Amino acid sequence: MIHSLFLINVSGDIFLEKHWKSVISRSVCDYFFEAKQKAVDPENVPPVLQTPHHYLITIFRGKLFFLSVIQTEVPPLFVIEFLHRVADTFQDYFGECSESVIKDNVVTVYELLEEMLDNGFPLATESNVLKEMIRPPTILRSVVNTLTGGSNVGDMLPTGQLSNIPWRRAGVKYTNNEAYFDVIEEIDAIVDKSGTTVFAEIQGVIEACVRLTGMPDLTLSFMNPSLLDDVSFHPCVRFKRWESERVLSFIPPDGNFSLMSYHVSSQNLVAIPVYVKQNISFFETGSCGRLDITIGPKQTMGKTVEGLMVTVHMPKTVLSVNLTSTQGNYTYEPTTKVLVWDIGKLNPQKLPNLRGSLSMHMGAPKPEENPSLNIDLKIQQLAISGLKVSRLDMYGEKYKPFKGVKYLTKAGKFQVVHSLILRA
């Protein structure tokens, strides 16, 4: 299964490695570095790479690459899911998953990796089980361990490990009982210059924060569950109940967890929240060009578009830009040829516009194709697919918990292309 794990930052430095079987040389990562150099963005590095003797499977999370080394053929999605679980565990334990935090808690990180994999095979990946075996680090605990020579590893086997509900520990008690759910949707879309949607789909996830006393049994119902495709559930969800009634019935883990993920692939159900009018042109003579971009709201259901940002990877021949923006700020990095226009909150009364001239190298030929635009945005309190939670019921306990649902739509891989070249 998994022989080794390397953690790599965006600069290409390996700052942590863990081997479960034999030690594998760092030189195996050279194949990954070659692929990373060819990719425009870190997210575009191929997740599976084949080398003469190994398979390299990677994910990119929190500006870090999690690279696993496999010596035999395994289902790639199985390894990718495990790597995401490792990143989620670090996030849960330390509050964030970053290079500095991992270095500060390197002992706990190695203890977690030792428990999560046994001889290369996944063993304990549930956060509740891990927290009973390896206590999360605190300042007081770190001081005590330094003085006494102790560790964060518990002395007893977790109670959940031996039950038929391994994701929930026994004897949970809270003064304030609460259950909150976040419906988060990402739009992946390709829109052409005229505004026609070439491709669009939605990747959704329901994140839960449940802090309830005892052993509650929850039922979550939707107003329109029929629009969901390709659903994936946390092990706590009773799948037969979903198949028959289209409701989520589950005994929840304690704390934060991902309840389900889903996919909306029907293009007519995907509303594009903004429109982009763009004109990027390069002249045959004069070593210059023009840029004109305007963005406006399209299908936002009356909600405000926030965190709006446009990223343009300019051709290598573009030397500098001289632009004027009616809203927000822009930056251009001459070395990477990346133009970033940070707009912020979209004002429907005064549409943001960026226009100006582009300077190119003297004598440089006109670029063969115009660059595409990458759009980033957020819309609070809106699920762009139209998914709505209708009610949450609790059984098995007598108290009344605090309940709440939040919605968030954001851009995934959202591109506006100048033209599409179709090859047979």
The whole-number average pLDDT for the span 222-240 is: 90
Contact 307, 337 (CB under 8 A): no
Cβ 399 vs Cβ 213: under 8 Å: yes
Cα separation values, 64 from 42, 56, 270, 330, Å: 9, 15, 31, 26
Q: Taking 50 as the threshold, does the pLDDT of residue 408 lie above it?
A: yes
For domain 274-380, give the CATH superfamily.
Mu homology domain, subdomain B (2.60.40.1170)
% of the chain exceeding 90 in pLDDT: 58
* Gap between the Cα atoms of 15 and 99, Å rounded: 8
Mean pLDDT of 183-210: 91
Q: Are 210 and 252 in contact (CB under 8 A)?
A: yes
Residue 162 vs residue 10, higher pLDDT: 10
Q: Quick one: which of 356, 129, 115 has its CA closest to 257?
A: 129
- By residue count, the chain amounts to 424
Comparing CA positions, the residue from 377, 337, 381, 379 lying closest to residue 359 is 337
At residue 46, does pLDDT exceed 70? Answer: yes
Is the confidence at residue 155, as pLDDT, over 60? no
How far is residue 189's CA from residue 45's CA, in Å, rounded to a whole number?
Answer: 19
Residue 126: predicted pLDDT: 81
Specify the pLDDT at position 154. Answer: 57
pLDDT for res 421 = 43
pLDDT, one tens digit per residue, over 68-95 is: 999 988 999 999 999 999 999 999 888 8
Q: List CB contacts of 14: < 8 A, sequence separation 6 or more.
A: 6, 7, 8, 26, 29
Between CA 382 and CA 154 the distance in angstroms is 43
The confidence score (pLDDT) of residue 76 equals: 93
Domain 178-270+384-416 belongs in CATH node 3.40.630.30: no
State the fold for domain 2-148.
Answer: Beta-Lactamase (3.30.450)
Please report which helix (H) or strand (E) contains residue 115, including its range. Answer: helix 106-116
Strand spans (E) along 239-347: 248-250, 255-264, 274-282, 288-297, 305-313, 318-325, 329-333, 338-344
Distance CA 308, CA 351 (A): 12
Rg (CA), the chain: 25
> Could you give the angle at the alpha carbon of 53 between the alpha carbons of 52 and 56, nearest 5°?
90
Cα 72 from Cα 160, distance rounded (Å): 32
Give the span between the Cα atoms of 391 and 115, in whole angstroms: 38
Q: What is the pLDDT of residues 310-350, one digit of tens each?
A: 999 988 888 899 999 999 999 999 888 899 999 999 988 89
Same CATH fold, 178-270+384-416 and 2-148? no
* Confidence band, pLDDT 50/70/90 cuts, at residue 423: very low
* Crossing angle for the helix pair 106-116 and 76-94, to the nearest 10 degrees: 140
Strands 353-360 and 402-416: unpaired
Q: What is the pLDDT of residue 227?
A: 85
Pair 172, 254: CB distance under 8 Å: yes
Residue 418 has pLDDT above 80, yes or no: no
Please state the pTM of the whole predicted model.
Answer: 0.81
d(C-alpha 227, C-alpha 266), whole Å: 8
Q: What pairing do the DSSP bridges indicate for beta strands 2-9 and 14-19? A: antiparallel
In this predicted model, what pLDDT tens digit does every residue of 254-284 receive, in sequence order? 888 899 999 988 766 788 999 999 988 888 7
Domain ranges for the chain, please list them. 2-148, 178-270+384-416, 274-380
Q: What is the pLDDT of residues 166-181, one digit of tens each?
A: 888 778 899 999 999 9
